[in-house]
Structure 1
Amino acid sequence: MSDNQASTGQSYLDKATGAIQSGIGSLTGNTADKAQGENRKTEAEVEKDLSHTAAKAGPFSMTAEGGVAKDNQDRTDGSWNQNVGAAKEAVGGFTGIESLKQQGAQQNKEGKEQEAAGQVSDLGEGLKNRVGGNVGAAVAGLTGNDAQKAEAQRQHDDGKARQRGVEADLQKQVEADRA
């Protein structure tokens, strides 16, 4: 992409363009066109992967584009409640204190629900910020307001970080469930 921003949509467009260019190169026997098309498809795949990358550090998510988002507090509190509940459940089971075991199981369950509610909230907020940032950037582009365009891009990138943070947590949960 021309603005060095990783974009899933742009990667699909670049991959299609590369496939067409490679196909034309094959039909015409032009090995240079075929090679350029294959390179474009490979670059598009890398761009798509980069677009879906996020780093997590505690309750913060960061994207390659510079977006930063802090997790909804329900996600953090829910995770804490799950851990405390699981510990109570284990201690109750180990000591034979059934009431502690049941209390721990209940706290663990409530923590999972609380974390899920925070994830839903963050997904919605992230989507809203991404759409709002895209609309704002388009309007700023039409008016030529570079400061507004930069702010809209930041809004988009922060929304993307929020969304990718939830996706990273969900992927981690899936992998833990498989283990």
Structure 2
Amino acid sequence: MSANNNNSTLKSYVDSATGAVQNAAGGLFGSTGDEAQGKVKQQKAEAEHDASHAAVKVPGGTVSSSGVARDDPDRSAGSWNQTAGSAKEFLGGVVGNESLKQAGREQNRSGQEQEARGQINDFTSGVGDRVSGAVGGAVAGLTGDRSKQDQYQAQHDAGKTQQRGAELDIQKQAEARDRS
């Protein structure tokens, strides 16, 4: 995906500000054409911002407009340990086996920690790939190396998807805690 077609959070902020200025200037000077163009630019910027943050979690990874990224193995293993731990805890409660119930609690807690480590790894790795991809792409653009520029763009895009996947899981867990 080329940089020109990629949804960019930064570009959406710039376009939104430009649209707001154009809209205000149009209103101030009585130019309904400029005012309307400013509003359209702001709406387009909002849509681009939303698209740059859109991502879908699938088993073992994340899919976004920027690409596909695999989850850190600790995320799925931690999730499995939480499920198994909850099942043991439930079963221990049903049959009155306190040691099974306690082992389930510990496995669940351990799984939560393991999943959190995986999320942190994915988030930091994603941010790192986005930054190094953006910097490398800029340098490659200055030197005119289109092949390297495309490679760095792919690294940036994969990092963005990986970061968004971790953010989705963290947000979903926070919302679940707020509901309980």
With normalisation by structure 1, the TM-score equals: 0.96
Distance 2:5 2:37 in 1: 20
Q: Look up the SS of the partner of 1:168 in the other structure.
A: helix
Corresponding position of 1:114:
114
Q: Look up the SS of the partner of 2:120 in the other structure.
A: helix
Corresponding position of 1:169:
169
**1:174 CA displacement:** 2.5
Corresponding position of 1:79:
79
Corresponding position of 1:60:
61
Corresponding position of 2:40:
39
**1:140 CA displacement:** 0.9
Distance 1:135 1:68 in 2: 21
Q: Look up the SS of the partner of 2:56 in the other structure.
A: strand
Which residues of structure 2 form unaligned runs of 5+? none
Distance 1:77 1:104 in 2: 15
**1:171 CA displacement:** 2.0
**1:85 CA displacement:** 0.2
Distance 1:73 1:118 in 2: 7
Q: Look up the SS of the partner of 2:6 in the other structure.
A: coil
Corresponding position of 1:135:
135
**Amino acid across the alignment from 1:115:** E
**Amino acid across the alignment from 1:11:** S
Give aligned-pair identity as a percent: 51
**1:20 pairs with 2:21:** yes
**Amino acid across the alignment from 2:10:** G
Distance 2:5 2:22 in 1: 22
**1:134 CA displacement:** 0.3
Count of aligned residue pairs for this structure pair: 177
> Could you list the runs of 4 or more consecutive aligned residues of structure 1 that deviate by over 2 angstroms after TM superposition?
174-177
Corresponding position of 1:3:
4
**1:176 CA displacement:** 2.6
Contact residue 63 and residue 157 of structure 1 kept, 8 A: no
With normalisation by structure 2, the TM-score equals: 0.95
Distance 1:122 1:38 in 2: 37
